[in-house]
């Protein structure tokens, strides 16, 4: 099994689409006003947004995008006017993360986990 796509809700795709393009995602499917899908710049995963009348309450879904040059990438995005809630910070789980929200309040985490992403020191060994 391989993760193909994550879809998040949006109240207005005409506002959300430019935001995600500014993040570096490439628009590949558009069906306004209901749906848009993007290719991630690296790998084969896709990301989509769909129109909803109401946004989820509470913390909601956390979406992680891995970036090899996290600090440089965040600096580039900040120059484009993207605001971050947390600038790149080393975390106790051995990842470096930056956090921001999209136009609908969906939590996005740009991170670099390196070898620790799939092989943290506390990984469970399976036979």
Tens of pLDDT, residue by residue over 64-83, are: 999 999 999 999 999 999 99
Q: What is the pLDDT of residue 115?
A: 94
Instruction: Give the pairing type, strands 46-51 and 96-101.
Output: unpaired
pTM: 0.91
Question: Can you tell me whether residue 56 is helix, strand or coil?
Answer: coil
Q: What is the pLDDT of residue 1?
A: 86
Q: What is the pLDDT of residue 95?
A: 96
Distance CA 127, CA 121 (A): 17
Distance CA 15, CA 91 (A): 31
Q: What is the pLDDT of residue 125?
A: 86
Q: Return the half-sphere exposure (C-beta side, CA atoms, 13 A cut-off) of residue 101.
A: 10
Distance CA 116, CA 23 (A): 24
Q: Domains in the chain and their CATH numbers?
A: 5-118 (3.10.180.10)
The lowest-confidence range among 41-45, 68-72, 97-101 is 41-45
């Amino acid at each position: 099994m391989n993760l193909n796509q994550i879809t998040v809700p949006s109240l207005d795709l005409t506002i959300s689409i430019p935001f995600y393009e500014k993040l570096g995602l490439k628009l590949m499917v558009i069906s306004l006003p209901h749906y848009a899908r993007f290719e991630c710049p690296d790998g084969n995963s896709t990301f989509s947004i769909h129109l909803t009348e109401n946004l989820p309450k509470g913390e909601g879904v956390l979406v992680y995008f891995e970036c090899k040059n996290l600090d440089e990438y965040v600096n580039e995005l900040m120059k484009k006017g993207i605001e971050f809630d947390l600038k790149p910070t080393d975390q106790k789980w051995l990842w470096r993360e930056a956090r921001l929200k999209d136009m609908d309040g969906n939590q996005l985490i740009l991170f670099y986990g390196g070898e620790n992403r799939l092989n943290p020191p506390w990984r469970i060994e399976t036979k």
